[in-house]
Chains A and B, each alone.
Chain A
Amino acid sequence: MVWQVEQIAAVAPSAAAYAAAQPLAVASRWSGTGVDDQALWGRCGGSGAEPYDVFVDHVAARFACSCPSRQVPCKHAVALLLVWARGGVAAGVRSAAVDEWVRRGTAVVARPDEVRPALPDPQGLVAVTADPPAPQRGDRDERVARMRAGLVELRRWLGDRMRTGLSDPAMARFDTWDRLAARLVDAQVGGLANRVRRVAGLAGASADWHQQVLAELGILDLLAEAGLRLGELPDDLADSVAVALGWQIRQASILAGVPDTDRWQVLGRSDTREDRIEVRRLWLRGVQSGAWAMLLSFAAYGQSLDGSLPVGAVIDGDLYRYPGRLRLRALLGLSCGAPQWGGPPSAVTVAHAVEEVGRQVAAEPWIDRVPVCVVAAVAPAAGRWWLVDDRSMVPLDAPGAVVATLAAAGSGEMVPTTCEWTANGFVPLTVHLADRHIDVGRVADASFVGAA
């Protein structure tokens, strides 16, 4: 039986992979196609000299392709399924190679009827944990079309702002931004809607707000353009863009991936309000690997944020990382033992931390926060506070009480301090002393969230 488009979308490993398959799902890109009662096959012209051989067992939902992609199914297999679903593949007699592959039966992946797409989330943040209802026909195609229309509209809006100028009084009205954010939510690019709301909060909030808003509009334009060209991007970058736009990935898909096993120490925590949701970021770092990871938890009004992992705790276990280029966001596996207290972590110089931030920003230019653990002290200069070591200094972005706590902790000595880099400066999260970890990250408003 011919698959439906929503079944194909459901087996695609990510939204980005599905989008990347779209340009390939035209008959002119394929040769030697055929289908019988179990197998589907064809050759897709790629960037290499040789076309890729693609085999699909459409009964057992198995896929194979000669392309170098590690995704299963790759975009070529997804594209071949789409061509078939659209009536572009005629019945044929399978070759010996296809026959052998079908009989060998390897690389089993999920059956299409077991895989369901994620619920669209207007916040663009909350991963769906429960199984959503089965998709309706054409849902995914419709969503891609809505997303593209939303991105085109965003670019038009940005162009209008550049033409009329940031001094336009409309820029200071929240309504100007809120209407755009609402349209982006409708277009199911909730990640961009959140960004727009954050930019709205910058307008008029400081003396240099024009510069801050302009920078964020530039990043929005970059993301919108990247979103319109997902199919042209390398897979990992396309995944990063898709996540930034607000495409959802089911937790089950993430947990089905290859785990990253290490002893993970919680080095920082920060709570931020995203519209009507409080978001808690926990920054973990592998004791052996030194790799960073971020766990997110969410709480709407009256709900509790996850407080099970205090700053400084160490857990042995598996993290499952979301796709993308930096792959910071992760889910904690279920096989972890009880948290134990960990000592002060290793830390780097200020210059090294800035270099690391630069690498990460270059990899994902829209990234808002980069974790670093730096050995430094605090000192005032030129009317603001700085994180200083023997050679370098970087500006801090923190309220006075937090800087005072940092100062009290160090008493002039340099101490390991975990910070989040942001465009406004380094935000201190934790001071690590020999016998304690002092959590100085922003805490969610207790009148909004319940007790953990």
Chain B
Amino acid sequence: MIQQHWEELTAVALLGTDRRPPPPVPAGHLADLLADLAARHPAADRAEVLLHQVAATTVLRRAARLPRPATVAPAVVDHDSRPPTPPGAEGDFRRITAEFPAIVGEWLEAVAAGGWRLGAELVVPVLVHTRRDPTLAELAHRVAGPVAAWLVQTWPGLAPRPAGRRPAPTDDPLPVTPELAVVCGRPPGDCAAALAAMFRAGTVSTAQRAMLINLVARLPRPSLLPVARALDTVDGSPAVLGLAAHLAALARLRQRALTELDPR
């Protein structure tokens, strides 16, 4: 009854009270409320009558609303017994996608290798981020578990995009120059010292930024912190300092993110 009255009020308000008078108020609480109001503060004209009715009906509709009986049940997803990724993983993933997307694959591999499933806060961002890369999407679905298939069924926009190119097995996802590849293969201390020496000697510059990021992205874990510390000591132009700081940040992020995802 209140809903019908509200629709009548809307119809009058659309046309204006110059063209149509306010509707009669249905008997009940609303009528009592408006009668009480009119007794104390009589409305001056049709417009004011309509405003009083609108205000009272709005309050009644909001305050006296009842929930609907539950006619649907949520779809139950198969249980995934793996533990969810630690809470800190969300921040790492957001930083990786924003600053170092080259290591998304490594991060997903670490999630899988650690026996984790994606925490609920990560499932949607990971599916969205990886859907254009068939290899990453496959990995993402694996670490997300059964909930991924259910989400994709419900929100088809989360499904992997078929246009994505699957890289050939021979493709190196993190290519580096032969000189840098040699540095990468050295023991941790030597690797850090060699990279710092290259910066000091000016044999690396911002022109090689992408290759250097790839280098740090493929460093074995024992080399990460020594390299980060060595890069902290680099001196030079603001551009070189900025590059060294960026690489050191990547090394530390990898170290922290991978350590956090180690199997418990």
Contact = CB atoms under 8 A, between A and B. Distances in A.
Interface of A: 158-160, 162-168, 210-211, 214-215, 217-219, 221-222, 225, 350-351, 354, 357-359, 361-362, 365, 377-381, 386, 388-394, 400-401, 404-405, 407-414, 423, 431, 433, 435-436, 438
A372 B46 CA distance: 39
A218 B56 CA distance: 8
Given A166-B13, A167-B15, A214-B54, 18 more contacts: A159-B45, A162-B46, A163-B16, A165-B14, A222-B59, A354-B65, A354-B67, A362-B63, A365-B58, A388-B72, A392-B70, A393-B69, A394-B67, A407-B147, A408-B124, A411-B77, A412-B74, A435-B87
B99 to A, nearest CB: 14
Contacts, number: 176
Contacts of B76: 411-413
Contacts of B46: 162-163
Contacts of B75: 379, 412
Given A164-B18, A211-B10, A433 B120 contact: yes
Contacts of A379: 72-75
A406 to B, nearest CB: 8
Interface stretch (B104-112, B151-159, B181-189, B200-208): B151-159
B18 to A, nearest CB: 5
Contacts of A159: 45, 47-48, 51
A378 B124 CA distance: 15
B121 interface: yes
A392 B58 CA distance: 22
B66 A214 contact: no
A210 B70 contact: no
Contact of B59 (A365, A381, A388): A365
A376 to B, nearest CB: 9
A411 B123 CA distance: 12
B264 interface: no
B65 A358 contact: yes
Contacts of A165: 13-19
Contacts of A413: 74, 76
Contact of A393 (B48, B72, B119, B120): B72
A388 B70 contact: yes
Nearest to A351: B67
A351 B57 CA distance: 22
A222 B87 CA distance: 46
A351 B67 CA distance: 6
Contacts of A431: 120
B51 A217 contact: yes
B64 A358 contact: yes
Q: Which 10 A-B pairs have the closest CB atoms?
A: A165-B16, A412-B76, A218-B54, A409-B120, A392-B67, A218-B55, A162-B47, A377-B74, A411-B77, A361-B63
Nearest to B146: A411
Given A217-B54, A408-B123, A438-B121, A164 B16 contact: yes
B68 A392 contact: yes
Interface residues of B, number: 59
Nearest to B41: A225
B165 interface: no
Contacts of B100: none
A436 B72 contact: no
Given A217-B51, A217-B54, A218-B58, A405 B120 contact: yes
Interface in B64-108: 64-77, 79-80, 84, 87
Residue of B69, B80, B121 ringed by the most chain A CB atoms within 10 A: B121
Residue of A222, A365, A389, A408 ringed by the most chain B CB atoms within 10 A: A408
A214 B15 CA distance: 12
B48 to A, nearest CB: 6
A132 to B, nearest CB: 35
A386 B70 CA distance: 9
Residue of A214, A221, A378 ringed by the most chain B CB atoms within 10 A: A214
A186 B226 CA distance: 63
B66 A393 contact: no
B132 to A, nearest CB: 17
Residue of B15, B41, B67, B157 ringed by the most chain A CB atoms within 10 A: B67
Residue of B17, B51, B123, B147 ringed by the most chain A CB atoms within 10 A: B51
A221 B43 CA distance: 12
B50 interface: yes
A215 B65 CA distance: 15
Given A166-B13, A380-B154, A381-B71, A408 B54 contact: no
Contacts of B67: 350-351, 354, 392-394
A431 B87 CA distance: 13
B199 interface: no
A69 B65 CA distance: 34
Contacts of A423: 62
Contacts of A215: 54, 58, 61
A162 B44 CA distance: 13
Contact of B16 (A168, A358, A393, A409): A168
23 contacts: A158-B51, A160-B47, A163-B17, A164-B18, A165-B14, A165-B15, A166-B16, A210-B10, A210-B14, A214-B10, A214-B54, A215-B54, A218-B58, A350-B70, A361-B62, A378-B74, A379-B72, A393-B71, A401-B128, A408-B147, A411-B77, A413-B74, A436-B121
A243 B200 CA distance: 63
